[in-house]
Copies of this chain bind each other. A is one copy, B any other.
Amino acid sequence: MSDPQHSAGARARLLLSAPDRPGLVAAVAEFVYRHGGDVTQADQHNDEEEGMFFQRVEFRLEGFRLSRAQLADAFAELAGPMRMTWSLRYSDEDRRVAVLVSRQAHCLVDLLGRWHSHELPGRAVLVASNHPDHEALVGHFGLPYHHLPVSAADRPEQESALLSVLEQAGVELVVMARYMQILSGRVIDRYPSRIINIHHSFLPAFQGGQPYRQAFSRGVKLIGATAHYATADLDEGPIIDQDTARVTHRDGVADLARTGRDLETVVLARAVRLHLTDRVLVHGHKTIVF
How long is the Cα–Cα vector from A249 to B42 in the complex, in angstroms?
A: 15
Is A189 located at the chain interface by the 8 A CB criterion? no
Is A238 located at the chain interface by the 8 A CB criterion? yes
Tell me how far the C-beta of A110 lies from the nearest C-beta in chain B, rounded to whole angstroms: 8
Query: How many copies of this kind of chain does the complex include?
Result: 4
Most chain B CB atoms below 10 A, which of A39, A203, A250: A39
Indicate with 1 or 0, residue by residue over A18-46, a CB within 8 angstroms of chain B CB atoms: 00001111101110111011111111111
Is A219 located at the chain interface by the 8 A CB criterion? yes
Cβ contacts under 8 Å, A168 to chain B: none
Cβ contacts under 8 Å, A34 to chain B: 26
Is A169 located at the chain interface by the 8 A CB criterion? no
Is A222 located at the chain interface by the 8 A CB criterion? yes
Given contacts A117-B105, A221-B239, A243-B222, contact A286 B205 (CB under 8 A): no
Cβ contacts under 8 Å, A204 to chain B: 205-206, 218, 220
Contact of A220 among B46, B117, B203, B288 (CB under 8 A): B203
Cβ contacts under 8 Å, A109 to chain B: 109, 113
B33 contacts A219, C-beta separation under 8 Å: no
Indicate with 1 or 0, residue by residue over A128-145, a CB within 8 angstroms of chain B CB atoms: 000000000000100000
How long is the Cα–Cα vector from A23 to B36 in the complex, in angstroms?
A: 9
Is A67 located at the chain interface by the 8 A CB criterion? no
B261 contacts A119, C-beta separation under 8 Å: yes
Indicate with 1 or 0, residue by residue over A213-255, a CB within 8 angstroms of chain B CB atoms: 0000011111010000000000000111111101011101000
Instruction: Enumerate 8 A-B pairs (CB-CB under 8 Å) in ascending A order.
Output: A24-B39, A28-B29, A42-B44, A106-B113, A140-B140, A218-B285, A222-B244, A262-B266
